[in-house]
Structure 1
Amino acid sequence: MPITHRTLARASFLTLAAGALVAASTAASAANLGFLNNTPITYMKQRDLQALNDAAQIALNTKKDGESLDWDNKGTGNTVPINGTVTPQETFDSGGLKCRKVTLVAQAKGQTQTWMPVACKGSDGKWKLKKQ
């Protein structure tokens, strides 16, 4: 398979995998993904994700590597309290873009979930997850 096709196939797979993870929050039991039941992502709604994204933008712009920013979903309308931290871990250059590894933590109903993506700052000044 040519490199361009492999790259496209990989990008398509990652997009589908990310979509599947979000969809799994509503159909975890039916799809044999019961391990996701009662994890913070299953309680997160769009406004909760926006609150996490807003906190990540602030942390990535203002915090030094290793410094955390607390976040929560107060004011989102969700009856399930969700909170956590955003911690930039490592700043580096990738293809002329400023990038940072970041640890995102969410806690809800006694469960904790952690994600460790890489975000890069675009020309528009916004941080976006780097496709792996």
Structure 2
Amino acid sequence: MKKFTIVAALVGAVALAGCQDFGPKQGAGTLIGAAGGGLLGSQFGSGGGKLAATAAGVLIGAWLGNSVGSSLDRSDQLYAERTYNQAFEGTRSGTESSWRNPDSGNYGTVTPTRTYQNAGRDCREFTQTIYIQGRAQTGTGTACRNGDGTWAIVNG
């Protein structure tokens, strides 16, 4: 019965992971959380109750693991956001700025390419390249300064 419970927990974790489109950290967090939650849940109850406890453990563990993995991916976004704001605020057009997250190894660059005003707001077009697990993803966009002085990407 214990082998069945462990297999059920792992199958549940894989099924849950296949339902979402998220980064590798978030996916790993979901799988690890689901497996751990399933194993913990399998320690309670007996018969059908044990199966229900295992299923609940898988679901709760997957949810918690997904949340932790998602938060880790946000650290990459924070490094990038800080660099983008500095580049939009005080970097000449054509000057590249870069960021790197030492924990994940992900990194990228942003280059403002044109500055203009739109409806009284300062705006900057930019190009970006982001390297996730060594694979480059490039794009272009536009950011405009909000009334409070912060920058927001309005097209990108």
Report the TM-score range of the alignment, normalised by the length of the smaller protein. 0.5 to 0.7
The one-letter code matched in structure 1 to 2:80 is L
CA offsets 1:31-79 (integer angstroms, 9 cap, x no match): xxxxxxxxxxxxx7011101101100011111111101111112xxx4x
Moved over 6 A (4+): none
Q: CA deviation at 1:81?
A: 0.3
Match of 1:24 in 2: 21
Q: CA deviation at 1:26?
A: 4.5
Structure 1 residue 97 corresponds to structure 2 residue 94: no
Equivalent runs, 1:2-81 vs 2, <5 Å? 24-26=21-23, 45-74=73-102, 78=103, 80-81=104-105
The structure with higher relative contact order (CA 8 Å, sep 6+) is 1
CA offsets 1:2-26 (integer angstroms, 9 cap, x no match): xxxxxxxxxxxxxxxxxxxxx6335
**TM-score normalized with structure 1 length:** 0.61
**TM-score normalized with structure 2 length:** 0.52
- Unpaired segments of 5 or more residues in structure 2? 1-19, 25-71
Partner Cα distance (2:152, 2:80) in 1: 13
Q: CA deviation at 1:117?
A: 1.4
Q: Which has the higher helix share?
A: 2
Partner Cα distance (1:96, 1:51) in 2: 29
The one-letter code matched in structure 2 to 1:73 is N
Partner Cα distance (1:59, 1:131) in 2: 17
**Do 2:114 and 2:125's aligned partners in 1 also have CA atoms closer than 8 Å?**
yes
- Unpaired segments of 5 or more residues in structure 1? 1-22, 28-43
The one-letter code matched in structure 2 to 1:48 is D
**Do 2:106 and 2:134's aligned partners in 1 also have CA atoms closer than 8 Å?**
no
**Do 2:141 and 2:155's aligned partners in 1 also have CA atoms closer than 8 Å?**
no
Partner Cα distance (2:126, 2:21) in 1: 24
Match of 2:152 among 101, 119, 128: 128
